[in-house]
Structure 1
């Protein structure tokens, strides 16, 4: 812990930290292909949130190319940081701490913002906090959901511990029980590919036009097309994946589509109606697996007498509007007492961003629990380790 930097005075309640003055964090994120910078305050204000994407590079390389991604991060981070401070109308003298994503993620990409944050903090004598990427996703709803209604009554939609978190992104597919800001239990995870990675692969296999979108966003938009869809004659229905088992597997869905296209001589030999039908049944199967495993997790919570009132859904895939509708319907149909309510952060805060990183760092900053300037990235890092490490 840094001994030369004194923490600001605060008092703690069940869900919040209150200071005699606001604590302002400049945060960075570069765990994959988005270069992000944001300014967040301890009273839950997002003063700025800058995201510079690399969709053009992803389309060129058919995925994230580490070397190209690092070069883009190095070029984009100074611009993102400058914009974040300007849009927040603050300068570095107003910043109390600097946060960054320490992991998990692509090691070479993580290192870009980690080194920038450490250098900047050391020169300015500011404290730093390295944040767990999935923890940041899991806590985003605590930043974006109003704590109270306009009439001053507590907002029942505000997540309270313990709550379930469905983390669905290009790197993870997990159901996590959030017990506190740094205590998490993984109830289900993927045994192979994540749902986001599989969606991206299928989008590329079907040769869907991205038009400067991410592959996943392109597939979502493609499935909403109004045209009629017709399944190919050789189509074989998707089979349930590990039924009644609390675990995910998405490589089978990817392989199923791959084999189907091979039987048809490739995507170029499919009609538009065939492609549209395959995209829709694939998306339905991918989301159906989430629904089934969520039901198993809810049953498991009931067996353990764990009362959860909310499901926080975050990660890039959580921006899909059809998924949001289906999860809401799934929870309404599930006979839990009390009922479980789905909570979704705003779409722009579901994908990678630095605002969530700044918010996740806040409890540690306010407690004076900072990292050393010698901290290194952790490309592999279980969210369950946070409780014993912090």
Structure 2
């Protein structure tokens, strides 16, 4: 897949050094922050040469969520094959054709991160390649710069929605991020996964969040009049809170005698009411963030929405309608990565590392994972 653009504004001048070579700078990247084992090759000409994602849903379904020891074991089993496939599909030789190796340093599950970190360090030091550890959420935030023909322009807002994080961030460069809102309890992806389990949805080859989306879309939208009214936590405040949605659903189902007492139509209406409520929570905070930018005289033209939850088509429609119907804001463009690059992947890790490789900046081989790591720390280099 080739993504063309006339703009490479976020890359340093040294980019042009590589455009004059017989080939561009090729990065092999590894991502293992949670339960997907990922490897990819991306080059400095904005081309995705390969993208391998090995999922573990069938392993974790029996536990109702990610079981850390099982996730680590599966990463250890899958990582060599993911790397080999990425190189084979890219048609490249690890020694001759790969110029740098990147990996997810954090945040994430420490044991899972360690598998990817050790694999990347071993390859880099054995082959004498430069190494870069990448912030996972930085990868999500910058994906649209790679995949959009007309990339978002700084400063832009980015809404990061995943199983581990829910953040509203102002991006002013590829390394400078200001957190405007975060969650005080659980992330939206975790909340959706928990509710999908409460509803006893069948995962099949999907994760619980994707199973919920598929379930509510199996038949045309219907009335949700008999569904409960979910809470609206922290209304008017630029703070996320999703634990209440999950708790409310749990209590409601117990008061109704359990999900077994719901026929399929009522169960689907309940799922739709929940999904609409958590997405309305995102909408409210996004509008508050745009208000804050206006008050601070920060001209935002683009809103980038990324992370696993951003692959939900209903969320994409809701956010577009929300911004279009708001009379208090100037027109804002919504930018989404392709759905396949919203969930965890190594393409975003390779791209987020590219500017450092091209500037001749890389990490030492004794780098270790950072399971807790604020995206704001990137601007200070810490």
Distance 2:65 2:329 in 1: 43
Pick from 10, 14, 35: which aligns with 1:15? 10
| Alignment of structure 1 residues 60-139 onto 2, 5 Å | 60-92=62-94, 93-139=96-142
**Structure 1 runs (4+) greater than 4 angstroms displaced:** 227-233
Distance 1:331 1:16 in 2: 30
Corresponding residue of 2:176: 183
Corresponding residue of 1:382: 374
CA gap of 1:230–1:205, structure 2 versus 1, over 3 A, is farther
Corresponding residue of 1:222: 215
Question: Which runs of 5 or more residues in structure 1 are unaligned?
Answer: 1-11, 147-154
Q: 8 Å contact 2:231–2:244 — kept in the other structure?
A: no
Deviations 1:100-151 (A, max 9, x none): 00000000000001001001100100010000000000000000011xxxxx
Q: 8 Å contact 2:100–2:131 — kept in the other structure?
A: yes
Distance 1:107 1:304 in 2: 37
Q: 8 Å contact 1:229–1:274 — kept in the other structure?
A: no
Shift of 1:13: 6.9
Distance 2:198 2:224 in 1: 16
Q: 8 Å contact 1:319–1:347 — kept in the other structure?
A: yes
Pick from 267, 276, 280: which aligns with 2:268? 276
TM-score normalised by the chain length of structure 1: 0.91
Q: 8 Å contact 2:144–2:337 — kept in the other structure?
A: yes
| Alignment of structure 1 residues 29-44 onto 2, 5 Å | 29-44=31-46
Shift of 1:231: 6.4
Corresponding residue of 2:191: 198
Q: 8 Å contact 2:228–2:273 — kept in the other structure?
A: no
Shift of 1:269: 2.2
Distance 1:232 1:337 in 2: 31
Q: 8 Å contact 2:228–2:270 — kept in the other structure?
A: no
Distance 1:15 1:337 in 2: 27
CA gap of 1:336–1:138, structure 2 versus 1, over 3 A, is farther
Shift of 1:330: 1.3
| Alignment of structure 1 residues 221-370 onto 2, 5 Å | 221-226=214-219, 236-335=228-327, 338-370=330-362
Distance 1:221 1:63 in 2: 18
Shift of 1:19: 3.0
Shift of 1:58: 2.0
Q: What SS does structure 2 have at the residue aligned with 1:33?
A: coil
Shift of 1:367: 1.1
Q: What SS does structure 1 have at the residue aligned with 2:172?
A: strand
Shift of 1:57: 1.4
Q: What SS does structure 2 have at the residue aligned with 1:20?
A: helix
Distance 1:224 1:338 in 2: 32
The reply to whether residue 213 of structure 1 matches residue 206 of structure 2 is yes
Q: 8 Å contact 1:129–1:370 — kept in the other structure?
A: yes
Q: 8 Å contact 2:224–2:273 — kept in the other structure?
A: no
Corresponding residue of 2:48: 46
Deviations 1:137-178 (A, max 9, x none): 0000000011xxxxxxxx4xx201000000000001111000
Distance 1:340 1:227 in 2: 29
Distance 1:373 1:383 in 2: 22
Q: What SS does structure 1 have at the residue aligned with 2:167?
A: strand
Q: CA RMSD in A?
A: 1.6
Q: What SS does structure 2 have at the residue aligned with 1:209?
A: coil
Q: 8 Å contact 2:161–2:310 — kept in the other structure?
A: yes
Q: What SS does structure 2 have at the residue aligned with 1:265?
A: coil
CA gap of 1:43–1:338, structure 2 versus 1, over 3 A, is farther
Shift of 1:214: 0.6
Distance 1:332 1:171 in 2: 29
Question: Which runs of 5 or more residues in structure 2 are unaligned?
Answer: 1-6, 19-23
